[in-house]
Each structure stands twice: as C-alpha cells, then as structure tokens.
Amino acid sequence: MNPSVYDEIKNLVTEAQNKNTENIDTASVAEILQLMNNEDSFIPSVIAGEIPYITEAVNILVEVFKKGGRLFYVGAGTSGRLGVLDASECPPTFGSDPEMVQGIIAGGYRALSAAMEGAEDKYDQGKEDLKAAGLTSNDVVCGIAASKRTPYVIGAVDYGISIGAKSLYVTCNPREQFDIPVDVAICTVVGPEVVMGSTRLKAGTATKQVLNMLTTASMIRLGKTYGNMMVDLMMTSKKLEERSKRTVMMITGLSYEDSAEILKEANGHVKTAIVMSLSNVSADVAKQKLKAADGFVRKALEA
C-alpha cells in the first residue's frame, strides 16, 4: 500500500461511502433502481450551480476556435472515454473538422473498450501524448478527472499550461480542494456514488452533461445552428441525408423533391442550400454570403 495515495483517496468525495445506499445489497431490483434514480436527480441542480464557470469555459473555447485553435480533452478510464465520445460526435453533428475537438485517453484507443487502469498513474505520459498530438499555445487542454488527482491528466494539463495553452478542468470534487492553476475549473460535486468509488455513475453522468454543454454552446456561438436546428451537417449517411432534406424543407418551405435538388446543387451542404433558397442566389453567392457572415445563416440572410 502507498500511504500517501491511500490518504489522498480516502478523503475524496468521489471515494466516500453513500449513507443512502448502505443496504443496497439487500434491496429488490425496483428498490435498487429507485435508489439510483434518486441519486441521479441531484445532478441537474449541481450543474446549474457551475454554469458561471461553464460560461467562462465556453467563452474561452469560442475565442480559441475562431483563431483556428483546437480543444483537447484528456482523461483516463470513464473520463477519457467520455472525452473521446464528445469529440467524435462533433463532426457529424456540427460539420466540424475532426481535428477541432480531439479526445485523448490514457492507454490509447485500446483503453476505449478495455480497462487499462495502470495507464492513469503515468504523469509523464500525459505530456508525451499531447506532444505527439501537436498541442500548441493556440489550443485548449481540458483535463477530465472525477477525482481531480489522476496523474496522467495532471501531467497533460501541466504541460499545456507550461507552453501557454488555455486550460480547463472538469472534476467532481469541491472547488476548495482544487489546486491546479487552470484558467477555469468546473467542479460538479455530485456526492458519494451509489456504489462506493464507481465514478462511472453520477460523476460520469455529470461529466457527460458538462462536455455536452461545452461543445454544443461553443458550436452554436460559431454559427453551427439556425434556431435550434443543425445546419452545418453534411450528408454522410442515409439518416443525415434525410435529416438534411427535412431541415431545408422546414426552414425554406420547399418540397421534398426541391429540397433534394437544391442540396445537390449545394454539394450536400445544408447552410448553403438554405441561403440559396431564401436569398434566391447561386451556390457560389450563397457561400460568399455565409463567409461574410462568419458562417451564421441568419446574418447571411439578413445581409
């Protein structure tokens, strides 16, 4: 046993025993599920209290993205998988470059489907993995660690800070115990888990919601939606093809057939098709109007 690690872990909120579920092993299936649901019900209010910090983080991301910078999520285990998940969902949802948001997980991509717990203890590897990914001072590093203490994640964030990159941190332990000098820390303290130390539960749920907010709000502020509809998506699957047609139909009033035709003229790009239809211009002119409007459909139409 490593006494220093033991002392550090035993005092973490995420490692504490939940008094509400002490007898869960004697409960019926329905009672177990109710206990889990009761614990999950606290998560939205906890996240609501962190919105001022999430706002700061989104403002940083928007400015970095506008300058061509990138976001690197770094985590181990569940935290790492959630970062990779959020990053991988950005291109199909918002038409973003796959390089724009990237997820790095301790142990590499093998760790996405297999537990590689020892990888999280390698402080220097966090730095090396970010160096290999080409992190620069124009980028953002977002550490994700429910416990805050994960050496791999801290090593990556320390490296990012050392070269002048912006830094964020998402954790589930209290702000007063947070001592890493990042630009913004988001501390969603959801309390002890239903099963002691299993941070794939409440901590994982809270983390997923925060990452959703970070990228979704950033992409909206970059003009990736029109109202609440995805308009920067590309028709790379049958589902996205039909969603694209439906979106054009809803915004422009065109028929299914006409929407399909104008999307074809727009090379499958929904934004371009919308501006073409509502401004009655060619694809080239629509693209010029969008560029002048920084990619915002509404501004392009008003212009």
Query: Could you give the residue numbers annotated as active site?
Result: 89, 120
Give the alpha-carbon dihedral of 124, 126, 132, 134, to 10 degrees.
-120
In degrees, rounded to 5, the angle at the alpha carbon of residue 236 between the alpha carbons of residues 232 and 238 is 110
